[in-house]
Structure 1
C-alpha cells in the first residue's frame, strides 16, 4: 500500500466518527480484525465485535481531530489525534496504530493513551 492509501483509511476512520456512523468501520476493517482500545484492555476481535464497540463509542458523540501528519511505514500507519466529547469538557489525547492486510483493510488497531491523556473525566471514570 502507498502512503496515500493508508492515509485515506485514516481519513475514512475520522469521517466515520464525524458522521457518527459505526457501520462505516465495516469498510475499513477486515473481517477478522482486532481492536485494542486502549492497549492493555481486552481486544475486540472480528468485525461484528468491532462494529458493536464503535456503536457504543460513537454513542458518546466523540469528535476526532488529527493532531499532525499521518506517519506510515511498511504495512502500518500511526496518527495522533484528540477526542472531544460533544456537550462536555472531556477530551482524550490518543495515538492510534493501524496495521493493514494484503487487501488494504485494517487488520489491527491499537490505541495508546493513559489517564494522564484524559482531561475533564470524573476521577472514578474507570471504576
Structure 2
C-alpha cells in the first residue's frame, strides 16, 4: 500500500493519468474533495486525473504514510501556478485497497481553509 502511494505521487509528477488510473480497481471511486460527486470506474478516474494534471499541479508528500488494515492515509500538498501566482492546497488522502492491492476508494480531505494563495 505504501508503494502504491509513492507510485501515485510519481505518476502524477510524470503527468501520467494512465499510470494513476492503473492503481485503481475497475469499479473504484474517487471523491475529491469529500462531499463532491464521486468519479466511478477507471475511465472516469483517468479523465479526472487528466484534467487535474492539465493545471500543471505537482504533489509533495508532507509526512509519513500511515497504513492500517486496508487503508493508506497520507498528507501532501498540491502545488500549482494558477492565474499568475503560485498556489498550494494542503490535502489528506485516504486510499482503501482490495485484496489485489488495487485502490477501491480514494477520498481527499481539504476545503477552503486549506487553499493558500487563491
Compute the RMSD of aligned alpha carbons.
1.0
**Structure 1 gap segments, 5+ residues each:** 1-5, 122-127
1:56 is aligned to 2:56: no
Q: From the two aligned structures, give the one with the greater strand fraction.
A: 2
- Matched residues in 2 for 1:26 and 1:90: separation? 25
Residue 118 of structure 1 corresponds to which residue in structure 2?
115
Residue 33 of structure 2 corresponds to which residue in structure 1?
38
Q: C-alpha offsets along residues 36-89 of structure 1, whole Å, 9 cap, x if unaligned?
A: 000000000000000000000000011111001000100000000011004631
- Matched residues in 2 for 1:113 and 1:39: separation? 8
SS of 1:91's partner is strand
Aligned length: 116
TM-score (norm 2): 0.95
TM-score (norm 1): 0.88
1:67 is aligned to 2:68: no
- Matched residues in 2 for 1:52 and 1:38: separation? 16
Residue 89 of structure 2 corresponds to which residue in structure 1?
92
SS of 2:99's partner is coil
SS of 1:85's partner is strand
